[in-house]
Amino acid sequence: MTSMTQSQLREFKMPDVGEGLTEAEILKWYVQPGDEVTDGQAVCEVETAKAAVELPIPFTGVVRELRYAEGTTVDVGQVIIAVEVGGSGEAPAPEAPAAQPAAESGEEAPKGRQPVLVGYGVAESSTKRRPRKAPASRPEPAAAAVQAELNGSAAPAAPAAPAPVVPAPAAPAGARPLAKPPVRKLAKDLGVDLATVTPTGPDGIITREDVHAAAAPAAAPQAPAAPAAPAPVPAPAQAPAAPVAAPAPGARETRIPVKGVRKMTAQAMVGSAFTAPHVTEFVTVDVTRTMRLVEELKANPDEYGLPAGMRVNPLLLIAKAVLVAIRRNPDVNAAWDEANQEIVLKHYVNLGIAAATPRGLIVPNIKDAHDKTLPELSASLAELVSTAREGKTSPGDMQGGTITITNVGVFGVDTGTPILNPGESAILALGAIKLQPWVHKGKVKPRQVTTLALSFDHRLIDGELGSKFLADIASILEQPKRLITWN
pLDDT digits (tens, 9 = 90+) for 50-76: 677 889 999 899 999 999 998 888 888
Show which residues are catalytic.
458
**What is the number of H-type helices and E-type strands within the chain?**
12, 19
The CATH architecture one would assign to domain 1-109 is Beta Barrel (2.40)
Longest dimension (CA), the chain: 94
Q: Summarize pLDDT for 229-266 with one digit per residue, the tens.
A: 333 333 333 333 445 567 778 887 888 787 776 677 67
Q: Which of 341, 340, 387 is nearest to 362 (CA)?
A: 387
pLDDT of 347 above 90: yes
CA distance 310 to 68: 45
Q: Hey, what amino acid is at 99?
A: A
Higher pLDDT, 314 or 104: 314
**Mean pLDDT over the full length of the chain:** 76
CB 447 within 8 A of CB 438: yes
Mean pLDDT for 174-201 is 76
SS3 288: helix
Residue 348 has pLDDT above 80, yes or no: yes
Nearest partner of 46 among 115, 149, 135, 124, judged by Cα: 115
Nearest in space to 156 (alpha carbons), one of 213, 240, 223: 223
Residues constituting the chain:
487
* pTM value surpassing 0.75: no
pLDDT at 173: 53
How far, CA to CA in Å, does 365 sit from each of 188, 262, 351, 460?
Answer: 21, 18, 5, 21
Inform me whether the pLDDT recorded for 109 exceeds 90. no
pLDDT in tens, 395-441: 788 889 999 999 999 889 999 999 998 889 999 999 999 999 999 99
Residue 214 reports pLDDT greater than 70: yes
Return the sign of the alpha-carbon dihedral for residues 206, 209, 210, 216: positive
> 46-50, 209-213, 246-250, 298-302: which has the highest mean pLDDT?
298-302
Q: Of 129, 157, 149, nearest to 239 (Cα)? A: 149
**Separation of alpha carbons 283 and 261, rounded Å:** 32
Q: Determine what percent of the chain falls in helix, strand and coil, rounding each to the nearest 5.
A: 35, 20, 45
- pLDDT (average), residues 351-366: 86
DSSP for residue 163: G
Q: Where is mean pLDDT largest: 112-116, 156-160, 256-260? A: 256-260
Angle, nearest 10°, between helix axes 181-190 and 208-222? 10
308 contact partners, CB below 8 Å, separation of at least 6: 301, 302
Average pLDDT over residues 136-145: 40
Note the pLDDT of residue 357.
Answer: 78
Is residue 187 within 8 Å of residue 208, measured between CB atoms?
no
Per-residue pLDDT tens digits for 178-190: 877 667 767 776 7
CATH 1.10.3210.10 fits 261-485, yes or no: no
Q: Is 413 exposed, middle or buried (0-12, 13-18, 19+ CB in 10 A)?
A: middle
Query: Minimum mean pLDDT among 20-34, 203-217, 322-336, 382-396: which range?
Result: 203-217
In this predicted structure, the answer to whether residue 367 has a pLDDT above a threshold of 90 is: yes
Query: How far apart (Å, rounded) are the C-alpha atoms in residues 164 and 167?
Result: 8
More confident residue, 345 or 49: 345
Q: d(Cα 286, Cα 451) in Å, to the nearest integer?
A: 9
CB atoms within 10 A of CB 281: 16
- pLDDT of 212 reads 76
Element housing 148 (H / E): helix 142-151
Q: Report which secondary-structure segment, H or E, holds 12.
A: strand 8-13
Indicate if the pLDDT at residue 34 is higher than 50: yes
- The per-residue pLDDT for 49 is 67
Amino acid 447: pLDDT: 97
What pLDDT is stored for residue 5 in this prediction?
Answer: 43
Q: Is it the case that residue 153 has pLDDT exceeding 70?
A: no
CB atoms within 10 A of CB 293: 19
The domain limits of the chain are 1-109, 140-223, 261-485
Q: Would the pLDDT of 133 be above 60?
A: no
Report the distance separating Cα 460 and Cα 425, nearest Å: 7
